[in-house]
Amino acid sequence: MAAHLPYEYIYLRYKKKFPHVWCPGCGIGIVMGSIIRAVDFMKWNMNDILLVSGIGCTSRMPVYLDFNTLHTTHGRALAFGTGAKLANPSLKVIAVMGDGDALAIGGNHLIHSARRNIEITTIVVNNNNYGMTGGQFSPTTPVGALTTTTPYGMMEPVFDICSLAGGAGAVYVGRSTVFHVMELDKIIAGALSKDGFSLVEVMSPCPTNYGRANRIGDAVKMMESLQENTVTIAQAEKLSPEQREGKIVRGVFVDRDDNEGYTSRYGKLCAKAAEEVSRREVH
Amino acid sequence: MSGVPWGETRLVQGNEAVALGAIASGIDFFAGYPITPSTEVAEILARELPPMGGKWIQMEDEIASVSAIVGASLAGARSMTATSGPGFSLMQEGLGYACMTEVPIVIVNVMRAGPSTGLPTQVSQADVMQARWGTHGDHPVIALVPCSVAECFHLTVKAFHLAEAFRTPVIVLSDEIIGHMRERFTFPAKGEVQPVPLSEPNVPVEWYEHYHHTASGVSPMARFGRGYRFHVTGLTHDIHGFPTRRIDEVVPKMNRLKQKITRRLDVLEHNEELGVQESGVVIFAYGSVYRSALAAREILARKKKKVGVFRPVTIWPFPDKTVKKNLDNKDVIVVCELNQGQLIHEVERLTSDQVRVVPLQRYDGYGITPEQIVSKVMEVS
């Protein structure tokens, strides 16, 4: 390792797999940087980390990171991750998915993973559309927005990812953007530190598809709009309902310790089952 | 009951024998979703695995179940799921993923009548082609068909061994009759069946290639969390597991995927033949129908009518060479199956025009009776 390289390089397969597939102006690389810094902050051994993903732009991330990496089928990252985590609870499992991957085809796995409280940290990169297939609408495309499959404007309401995950039982839920990188690093580190299902929604621009279709401007303009259109929880509390209209709130919405993780509960179940069986055999 | 009753003789149900065969093989992980007529496998393992420290989870659907067992296998667990037709359809995605990424898993499909919800509590053998070609893309498949409670046990054990040896999914194609039938079965003595040993790479971490080319086409597989950091993807990949579109990497991968199975028919082929050589008429049957074929053969013998019976136990890969060698010189082959004609096409493909290949098919949710086979044989020979 050359001494002048930033420490993030330790975690990259930088000699093998770069350049990456993401478009100029895409925010997914910034999320990858945040994940690296959060993992480094946790001082986890790379051998213990399993990074699992589904299909889509975000789900191409595992190939670039020098962990145990698993690029699965569309929407199923959490199902594969659940199997791996339960089979080997010492693995630190991180799932990365896009909005379509996590909420449409993988929506059922998401809510049940949250309900089970399986110890997985899920990072959902929300760029408001399906980027890899050329910009179709997703469950997070805002009403009225144009995509290749909503040529007359999106008419379906959106999912609120954070409310969904919190409602389904996640022990830690946060939202940030690729503009607010320092905040994002902290929120992801907070998610990694939980022994349960944690989820971080990261708002990220897709200038190539979503930005172009909706004439939002270039990547820089989209980044600026992440700054302009979002407020922290504290800021939101001070705003009048009119001022809050259209603003997206950033911060940690759920952070609880009253729900034991799945593999921990499963371990207790095994002990109870073994005790019951041995008691039966004695009688 | 707790664990495998080694050495004991008991009245055992087919699905129960599958579950106990899995335990005998050292199953570490089961994920599943309730579906008739396979549910007993999940129920028995839900009772048996936790006290042993084994992992058992009921997932939200069959796609999640097969995904979970692939993830578990990569993390070092001997993994299995059990399902039936509609669930097997949902599992095709994960089955293809396991073929492509060469992850050992066992999928038990207790066949019921379809299409769609069909006759959920009744028998069929109509998933034979789904087992072969249900997932998209060219891919290898190993499928074993038990005809008895004893075979439910032994073929499940075999499935775990083959999955590990070939780094591929192995399908146990049971059916509703076999799954719910109870028969006398003597479990093997303790020590006769050993847990399947998991392969481990013996090279330094930096030398490890997840898809190393070997003469057999299969290389030892590292598991997540043991120091070998590797990438797994359903994208077509190079020997390290990283995505590739290079022709000189894509073609060898595809060839190896196929040949690791087709070049090892010596190990995989498993047939049963009774009086085939000396008979001009042969009954071709598999699974529960084979039992009726055996009974029919006895009835016909009493009528001084000599027939042979041919049964493939491993139906995929199909025993091409043996069928061609042993059946292409017959007068009549009666292919009995609980569908509208699936394996009969394989038999027709391998026999010349002089051989009459006659179907005996039933697809009303009931088994083929010995009497039906007898009258078909009398009618055509």
The pLDDT score that the predictor gives to residue A51 is 98
The pLDDT score that the predictor gives to residue A5 is 83
Question: What is the rounded CA–CA span in Å between residue A71 and residue A64?
Answer: 11
The pLDDT score that the predictor gives to residue A82 is 98
Q: Whole-number mean pLDDT of chain B?
A: 97
Residue B372 in this model has a pLDDT that exceeds 70: yes
Query: Which region among A79-83, A90-94, A193-197, A241-245 has the lowest average model confidence (pLDDT)?
Result: A241-245
Question: Is B57–A269 a contact, with Cβ atoms under 8 angstroms apart?
Answer: no
Confidence band of A282 (pLDDT split at 50, 70, 90): confident
**Across residues B302-323, what is the average pLDDT?**
97
Question: Is A76–B63 a contact, with Cβ atoms under 8 angstroms apart?
Answer: yes
Residue A274 touches chain B, beta carbons under 8 Å? yes
The pLDDT score that the predictor gives to residue A96 is 98
Under 8 Å between Cβ of B285 and B292: yes
DSSP chain A: --TTS-GGGGGB-TTTS-S-SPPTT-SHHHHHHHHHHHHHHHT--GGGEEEEE-SSSGGGGGGGBSSEEEE-STT-HHHHHHHHHHH-TTSEEEEEEEHHIIIIITHHHHHHHHHHT-SEEEEEEE-SEETTTTSEE-TTSPTT--BTTBTT---SPPP-HHHHHHHHT-SEEEEEESS-HHHHHHHHHHHHT-SS-EEEEEE---IIIIIHHTT--SHHHHHHHHHHTEEEHHHHHHS-HHHHTTPEEEEEEEE--SS--HHHHHHHHHHHHHHHHHHHHH-
The SS3 of residue B39 is: helix
CB proximity under 8 Å: B 15-74 to A: 28-29, 31, 50-53, 55, 57, 59-61, 63-65, 67-74
Q: Whole-number mean pLDDT of chain A?
A: 96
Question: What is the rounded CA–CA span in Å between residue B135 and residue B123?
Answer: 23
Distance, in angstroms, between B225 CA and closest chain A CA?
Answer: 5
**Across residues B235-261, what is the average pLDDT?**
97
Tokens standing for residue A251: 């911060």
**Across residues A97-101, what is the average pLDDT?**
98
Q: Does the domain spanning A7-282 belong to CATH 3.40.1280.10?
A: no
CB proximity under 8 Å: B 313-372 to A: none
Confidence band of A16 (pLDDT split at 50, 70, 90): confident
**Across residues A93-105, what is the average pLDDT?**
98
Domains of chain B: 9-186 (3.40.50.970), 272-380 (3.40.50.920)
Task: Find the DSSP H helices in B263-352.
Answer: 265-268, 288-302, 320-327, 344-350
Confidence band of A3 (pLDDT split at 50, 70, 90): low
Residue B58 in this model has a pLDDT that exceeds 80: yes
Residue A16 touches chain B, beta carbons under 8 Å? yes
Question: What is the rounded CA–CA span in Å between residue B110 and residue A176?
Answer: 47
Residue ranges of the domains in chain A? 7-282
Confidence band of A280 (pLDDT split at 50, 70, 90): confident
**Across residues B96-106, what is the average pLDDT?**
98
HSE of A129, CA atoms in CB hemisphere, 13 A: 28
The pLDDT score that the predictor gives to residue B1 is 55
Question: Which residues does A135 contact at the CB level (< 8 Å), separation at least 6?
Answer: A129, A147, A148, A206, A208, A209, A210, A212, A213
pLDDT digits (tens, 9 = 90+) for B82-98: 999 999 999 999 999 99
Question: Is A88–B70 a contact, with Cβ atoms under 8 angstroms apart?
Answer: no
- Percentage of chain A beyond pLDDT 70 is 99
Confidence band of B260 (pLDDT split at 50, 70, 90): very high
pLDDT digits (tens, 9 = 90+) for B140-169: 899 999 999 999 999 999 999 999 999 999
User: Chain A residues with CB inside 8 Å of B245's CB?
Assistant: none
User: Chain B residues with CB inside 8 Å of A67's CB?
Assistant: 229
Question: Is A62–B55 a contact, with Cβ atoms under 8 angstroms apart?
Answer: no
